[in-house]
A = this chain, B = another copy of it.
């Protein structure tokens, strides 16, 4: 009883502190959104979030979804990225996750990996350039194991590559 299993107050708490520090308000919509964001699979987009809430009869306007995602990114709870599509993708930043991505151009699989040696190399490069890193993005596009065997339509691949927003 002393330490009840805390669901995910950590995120809520961080968001709350962030809002207070900026004299912003803790509204019901914002709480719903934080909760839903951390209930989503790793990668989602603004519309998926909007839909998910609508289905739970907790409709929140798209404008508010965007406005809140922006706040969440600013406070570091969410990461924004566009993995080649023309619209932004988001992902909740859980604990101390810090990973890069392998993205299959054929089946869209996203393989996440974390390599301390790669991180170290990056830091070294930054040091050499006297650059202070604050954020990084590392995506490798290609064919996953499964899709290397399968027949792939080269023209489709070529088109996908041309559409990459790297």
Contact = CB atoms under 8 A, between A and B. Distances in A.
Interface of A: 70, 73-74, 79-82, 88, 102, 104-105, 111, 113, 115, 117-118, 121-122, 125-126, 129-145, 148, 157-159, 161-166
A111 B134 contact: no
Contact of A115 (B88, B125, B130, B132): B125
Contact of A134 (B115, B138, B142): B142
Given A81-B165, A122-B140, A135-B142, 10 more contacts: A74-B158, A82-B165, A102-B129, A125-B140, A131-B143, A131-B144, A131-B145, A135-B141, A135-B161, A137-B138
Given A81-B166, A131-B144, A134-B143, A115 B126 contact: no
Nearest to A76: B161
Contacts of A70: 162
A121 B122 contact: no
Contacts of A105: 134
Contacts of A137: 137-139, 141, 164, 166
Contact of A132 (B132, B138, B143): B143
Nearest to A105: B134
Contacts of A165: 80-82, 88, 165
